[in-house]
Every structure is written in C-alpha cells, then in structure tokens.
Amino acid sequence: MRYALKNDRYSPSVKPLIAKVKRVLPFLVKQYHIKSLGVFGSYVQNKQSSRSDLDLLVEFSKTPGLLKFIELENRLTDLLGIRVDLVMKDTLKPVIGKHILREVISV
C-alpha cells in the first residue's frame, strides 16, 4: 500500500527532501523490508524550523527488531543529512494516526 496525499498544497521545501528519499530508498527497501514510506509533519505543513527533523511514516513487509529499526533511522539520517524521526504505521494511535494519514506524502 502506498500513501497518498489528500491535499495537493504542501510546502515546497519538502520536495527536495522527497527527491533525496527517493534516491536512497531503492538501496534500503530490500535490506530493511520497507513496504511503503511517506513524509509527514512540519515539512509537509510548511512549519519547519532549523531544528526540525524529518518525520517519515514507514510500513514494513517484515517488522524489524528494535536495533534494526534504529539502524534504519540512523542510516536515513546520515544519507539525507537531516535528523529523521521514523514512525511505524501499525503503531499509530487512532486519533493522531488519522491526522498523519491525511497529510502524508508517499515516496
């Protein structure tokens, strides 16, 4: 399942980050069993600051252990040059999950 943006109006600053994610994603999909990946949060809302991280919603075909999950988060941070906050789709709470799923941009 790919995430779809329900609103075409989002921050132009997120476009270069999405392009970077798309470039590195093929190298990570097989190793980490990534089924889908999407961007949400401050960059999508155009509310980012110099201290903002990049919020990524991930769905796995095979759920990783904690160390592998942290390894992926750190690897994305290194590859993208911005701190990444990785959130698993199946761990979203109902209320915040609805909000995130409405704004997420598929990569």
- Give me the pLDDT at residue 27, please: 87
- Give me the pLDDT at residue 90, please: 94
Domain interval for residue 24: 14-106
User: Is 80 exceeded by the pLDDT of residue 11?
Assistant: no
- Give me the pLDDT at residue 37, please: 96
- What lies within 8 Å, CB to CB, of 21 at 6+ separation is 37, 39, 56, 76, 80, 107
Q: Is residue 39 part of a domain?
A: yes
Q: Is residue 84 part of a domain?
A: yes
- Give me the pLDDT at residue 17, please: 85
User: CB-based burial of residue 11 (10 Å sphere; 0-12 exposed, 13-18 middle, 19+ buried)?
Assistant: middle
Q: Is residue 53 part of a domain?
A: yes
pTM of the prediction?
A: 0.85
Total domains, the chain:
1
| pLDDT confidence tier of residue 16, bands split at 50, 70 and 90 | confident
- Give me the pLDDT at residue 46, please: 85
